[in-house]
A and B are shown apart, each in its own frame.
Chain A
Amino acid sequence: MTDFTDDMSEPLQGERQSMLRLVMRRIQSKWRQIVTVIPFFWLLVFFLAPFFIVAKISLAELAIASPPFTSLIEWTDSGIVTIRLVFDNFVYIWEDSLYFDTYVNSLKISVTSTFLCLVFGYPIAYAIVRSGPVAKPLLLFAIILPFWTSFLLRVYSWMGLLADQGTINNLLIALGIIDEPIRMLYTEFAVYIGIVYTYMPFMILPLYANMEKLDNSLNEAAADLGSKPTNTFFKITLPLTMPGIVAGSLLVFIPATGEYVIPDLLGGGNVQMIGRVLYNEFSRNSDWPVAAAVAIVLLFILVLPIMVFQHYQGKAAEEQ
């Protein structure tokens, strides 16, 4: 179907097509690089750049300005560029016991919550792996189901459940088990409930993925060699599910340490966690440099477990 009146445009069209083909071929041959560049670019823009901005602010001084801190680099009138690094914020955090205590308390709460998630999540994951072909997808669905409602909404519901005049206290009083309401909301207990409840799926899912791969014949082999079920658990199952335990624990521990919403809503003013302190410094005191320093210190506290995680992942990959 060649139209001769279109004769003139044909070479041009052919050229355009070959150009397009060339570009496509380029993209195809560079596909691997392109695929890896996208996440790197993402991390650069949304993680590394903000990190440097926060780091920069943490080394500045509070100033009455907008934004409320001194700038790192100053041009004096004589044309000399000076860089002023102020470490006062870090010294301040170190010297004021409020910050130190809050870090310790945050770590205590997150470590305990991680442990609780593991203790409750491990048997749940194990039971799901061992459940039948009908029950398994339903149970997994139930684990993921809470994500369908807003996190904030779920924490608010806990407030309703745990309050002095809340569902649980009313029920217990109606049943005649207690006379006076038990104080649950605005205690550390409520914060634990909130964190363990919220982060449980992050523990269960990696554990499930890990356990699903375990060959049941290993358990049978251990039994066959004379090992009782408890011994088999500690010698075979537990070591082989270690990667899942590490992954799940970090997925709970890291966000729980910096958690702000749960201690704020369920702990009230009674439970000090570093997320709340950071928020207060930033918005109530408008002290951006101290808030930034608090964030940087928190980051370094969390880098250690992340490195442990990387180490285990590397080892697991090596054994594959």
Chain B
Amino acid sequence: MTVSATVSAAPWLEQEEQQPLVQIRGVTKKYGEVTAVDNVDLDIYKGELFCLLGGSGCGKSTLLRMLAGFEDLNAGTITIDGVDMADVPAYERPTNMMFQSYALFPHMTVEKNVAFGLEQDHVPKFDIADRVHEILKLVELEDFKKRKPKQLSGGQRQRVALARALVKRPKLLLLDEPLAALDKKLRKQTQFELANIQDKVGVTFIVVTHDQEEAMTLSSRMAVMDAGRFKQIGTPTEIYEFPESRFVADFIGSANIFEGRVIEDGADHVRVETEFCEVFIDHGHSVKEGSKIWVALRPEKIRLDKADAATEGANQTSAVIDDVGYLGETSIYKVRLPNGEVFDVTMPNQSRPTHATTRLTWEDKVNISWDPSSAMLLHS
């Protein structure tokens, strides 16, 4: 395995120089009347760890299976490393897949499972032994190489599946819900491990997941999918901080979404009128003045201050605490705005709430406010 230092940290930004490794153009897949994947376009660059994120039935797995060659396309083209995959069968594609069920061969030992792919390529015997040994060392399973899959734990099987897919040094590694079968603690640990391994081997990963936290931790870029289409493509930060639609804002993390009307659209700011206060945003958006628009606010970006008097001005309003949920590290507050709308606000519990007087509780009158950079405008 070579450490590829030449791979850029953000290859998608250098589109002029970089030729995408994977080009998906107008790809459509229908099962009878149902359109699983609907005319999607996507470029994935060398060295990326790209996540396809979406709920069940959104078409993410179908897209992955089309890349692997298990499903035919109804329309469009898939190009990998400059080669059109239309007539390339699964067994000749430069891709390897890690299956959700792991699909380990039950009658073979760990060693045989990992060596299977190399044997198909007629790699010399001593090379096979070396490479199997090397990859099992990477996933820390050397001691288990004589075991059958049934004699391994879930986490060990997951690593065998990863080793088996990686040992052929594919141009593209496809991972279908790689962590779904693991328990929560192991999953968190493995998320980082997977990213580290990807960094070490320098192979391009495409990961399908329904777990937004997993996508955020793992990916260099991700695509949020719904009903066979991409809702938004970007880095985890872009997707979280600048969601384009209500769907994305709500799917990734949680968001308070409300309606407003654009009253001023400047080059470097936007003003939106809402039922409870004016929202001022300190950066430009291209929105039409007077148009209705959706605004989103992340619960952790809202400040909560005890205040008896109502306050005036942009980005703030008075509210009443409806409910409090103590979660340990944070508390979640349900606050009722003057127009009856209820917002979620989360606050870290920086000090022990021992003094009843300083603690915010039910029916407390509060003032909520947020920074000019916090509110997000949603285009759909």
Contact = CB atoms under 8 A, between A and B. Distances in A.
Interface string B324-366: 0000000000000000000000000000000000000000000
A49 B202 CA distance: 72
Interface in A216-232: 217-218, 220-228, 231
A302 B104 CA distance: 37
A221 B168 CA distance: 13
Contacts of B313: none
Interface residues of B toward A: which range? 20 to 34
A231 B91 CA distance: 11
Contact of B96 (A225, A227, A235, A320): A225
Contact of A215 (B69, B101, B150, B168): B101
A224 B68 contact: yes
B124 interface: no
Interface in B67-121: 68-70, 89-93, 95-97, 99, 101, 103-107, 116-117, 120-121
A239 interface: yes
A228 B150 CA distance: 26
Contacts of B97: 220-221, 224
B99 A217 contact: yes
B25 interface: no
Interface in A194-231: 215, 217-218, 220-228, 231
Given A220-B90, A227-B116, A228-B91, A319 B150 contact: yes
B131 interface: no
B96 A319 contact: no
A218 B103 contact: yes
Given A220-B97, A319-B106, 19 more contacts: A217-B103, A218-B103, A218-B105, A220-B70, A220-B90, A221-B99, A221-B103, A223-B70, A224-B69, A224-B91, A224-B93, A224-B165, A225-B116, A225-B117, A225-B164, A225-B168, A226-B91, A226-B117, A240-B106
Q: For the complex of A and B, list the 4 residue pairs with the smallest distance between their C-beta atoms, beginning with the closest.
A: A225-B117, A226-B120, A221-B103, A217-B103
Interface of A: 215, 217-218, 220-228, 231, 235-236, 239-240, 319-320
Interface of B: 68-70, 89-93, 95-97, 99, 101, 103-107, 116-117, 120-121, 148, 150, 164-165, 168
27 contacts: A217-B101, A217-B103, A220-B68, A220-B70, A220-B99, A221-B97, A221-B104, A222-B105, A222-B116, A223-B69, A223-B89, A224-B68, A224-B91, A224-B97, A224-B165, A225-B91, A225-B96, A225-B117, A225-B168, A226-B92, A226-B117, A226-B121, A235-B116, A239-B107, A319-B107, A319-B150, A320-B150
